[in-house]
Amino acid sequence: MPNLPGFKTESEKAAELGITPRALRNWRAQRRGPPWAKIGRLIVYPNDGFEAWLRAQVQQPARSRRAA
């Protein structure tokens, strides 16, 4: 695999996220998940694009509807 500064391979990104490369492939097919680029047959994930995507995934917890 070529060493591309600022990018991680599919297997590297999957290991970082604690998921399988297959999960990343499924996300790409569903057009969800972190941004990626294809160079020939190689799929890579830009580090800066991933951080922005991850920040966009943050959700606030819903308030409890129970009376105190």
Q: Which CATH class is domain 7-55?
A: mainly alpha
Domain residue spans in the chain? 7-55
- The residues that bridge with 9 in the sheet, in sequence order, are 44
Q: List 42's β-bridge partners, or say none.
A: 39
- Give the helix/strand (H/E) hosting 12: helix 10-17
Residue 33 DSSP label:
S
In Å, how far from its chain's centre is CA 15?
Answer: 11
- 21 has a pLDDT exceeding 90: yes
Q: What is the pTM of this model?
A: 0.74
pLDDT digits (tens, 9 = 90+) for 26-67: 999 999 989 999 999 999 999 888 888 888 989 888 876 766
